[in-house]
Structure 1
Amino acid sequence: MDVLTLDRPVEVQELKKSITFQEFLAAVDGGIHAELEDGEVIFMSPASVPHQELSGWLYTILRFFVRQRRLGRILQAPFTVRLNVSEQGREPDLLFIGHAKLAQLHSGFLDGPPDLVVEIISPESIDRDRGRKFVEYEAERIPEYWLIDPIREQAEFYRLGKDSRYHQALPDADGIFHSESVPDFWLRTAWMWEDPLPNELDVLRELGVLS
């Protein structure tokens, strides 16, 4: 997600530079796209059309699949994840929370790691998504991290290993990635580079959740 540091809302401008997580939640209440990084509010610029379309497409497919299989919850930005190890407040593009972690879900934030995080890369966010966030999500022991780059048409999937480090999980010979965090869910990576994106109902039928 793009980063923006200008034109901050007045009520947030007046905050001291270093704020607590609770102060951050109060400041961004109402759908402001922002993250808490080292006690500072980092504002996000509006997403591009390709970013919005891909994010919405993935959200629709994942949400329907998860609901049909009764696996948990799928949420999308703006929604804050509290990372307790690094003490940051991140706003992934998409996140999946399985039943075992639903008790950590509050009305305005998730208190702890989800089971899956998806970040859709932009030119402005690439260093953050591949750098700080990669390290933070790994330290938080988030089982699966997807990095989707619609500009380069690249998708990278990482799973947490027994050594508590991320290891890349490659699609199979047919270009299909099989998720472990979302049981039985699979994704044909080529779908994400089609223009226009495939019809969601057709994809859900292929996934076997629609007849």
Structure 2
Amino acid sequence: MKTIEKKTIADYEALPEGSPYQLIEGELVMSPALGFEHFRSSKKLFVRLYRLLEETKKGEVIYAPVDLYLDDENAYQPDIMVILKGSRARITGRGVYGPPDVIVEILSPSTAYYDMKVKKRVYERAGVREYWLVDPIDRSFEIYVNTEEGFKLYSSAVRSGTVRSEILNTELDLEEVFEEV
């Protein structure tokens, strides 16, 4: 039986700049181009979080594509990262090292498995404080808070209503997130 050699951060960094890959548990996984619904939801959430953090001066919001390095076998480009003042995450010229306080992943059919299962476990293990899963097709939004027992669903809504972020002390209206122009 042939074994697949695990890849590391060194292998990931050796890829040509702009390569459409993420390093997920030692495997290089291609990330295809994003659909318009993904883009629209991501943009609206980024703008909302940017305004919130500018107003409160609590931290910084980072928009993909920026590399996030969690360990030697995991380098991602989350859709959105929030790094609050005093965070364990470090921002450098190469990307972000260590767990951001909030990670937002907008689901796409080709990446949903990784976002909902594999990356969720890695984010939990790394110490990400809140993990947001946003599905622009089903118009659903889930916020998980990292507790001593791991990620627990804290707030969710489908198609309408609001979700609440404990860490950012804010609510988000689904109609605004998924609003079509």
**In structure 1, what is the equivalent of residue 178 of structure 2?**
193
State the Cα distance separating 1:129 from its structure 2 match.
1.0
What TM-score comes out, normalization by structure 1 length? Answer: 0.74
Q: SS of the counterpart of 1:27? A: coil
State the Cα distance separating 1:63 from its structure 2 match.
1.2
CA contact (8 A) 1:141 1:164 kept: no
Q: Using the alignment, how far apart are the partners of 1:91 and 1:101 within structure 2?
A: 18
**In structure 2, what is the equivalent of residue 75 of structure 1?**
62
Q: Using the alignment, how far apart are the partners of 2:146 and 2:22 within structure 1?
A: 24
State the Cα distance separating 1:109 from its structure 2 match.
1.5
**In structure 1, what is the equivalent of residue 113 of structure 2?**
127
Q: Which runs of 5+ in 1 are unaligned?
A: 1-16, 197-211
| Structure having the larger proportion of residues in helix | 1
Q: SS of the counterpart of 2:86? A: helix
CA contact (8 A) 1:35 1:41 kept: yes
1:137 equivalent in alignment to 2:123: yes
CA contact (8 A) 2:140 2:156 kept: no
**In structure 1, what is the equivalent of residue 35 of structure 2?**
48
Runs of 4+ in 1 over 4 A off after TM superposition: none
Q: Which runs of 5+ in 2 are unaligned?
A: none
**In structure 2, what is the equivalent of residue 27 of structure 1?**
15
Q: Using the alignment, how far apart are the partners of 1:127 and 1:171 within structure 2?
A: 19
**In structure 1, what is the equivalent of residue 47 of structure 2?**
60
Tell me which amino acid in the other structure corresponds to 1:57: K
Q: Of 70, 88, 91, which residue of structure 2 is paired with 1:105?
A: 91
Q: Of 138, 153, 160, which residue of structure 2 is paired with 1:168?
A: 153
**In structure 1, what is the equivalent of residue 75 of structure 2?**
89
Tell me which amino acid in the other structure corresponds to 2:176: W
Query: Residues 189 and 64 (structure 1 numbering): CA distance in 2 closer, same or farther, change over 3 Å?
Result: same
Q: Using the alignment, how far apart are the partners of 2:127 and 2:88 within structure 1?
A: 16
Q: Using the alignment, how far apart are the partners of 1:120 and 1:171 within structure 2?
A: 14
Q: SS of the counterpart of 2:54? A: helix
| Residues 94-134 of structure 1 deviation map (CA, whole Å, 9 limit, x = unaligned) | 01011113761111211110000000011111111111011
What TM-score comes out, normalization by structure 2 length? Answer: 0.86
| Structure having the larger proportion of residues in strand | 2
Q: Using the alignment, how far apart are the partners of 2:176 and 2:130 within structure 1?
A: 20
Identity %: 26
Q: Using the alignment, how far apart are the partners of 2:179 and 2:63 within structure 1?
A: 22
Larger Rg: 1
RMSD: 2.2
**In structure 1, what is the equivalent of residue 135 of structure 2?**
149
Q: Using the alignment, how far apart are the partners of 1:138 and 1:28 within structure 2?
A: 29
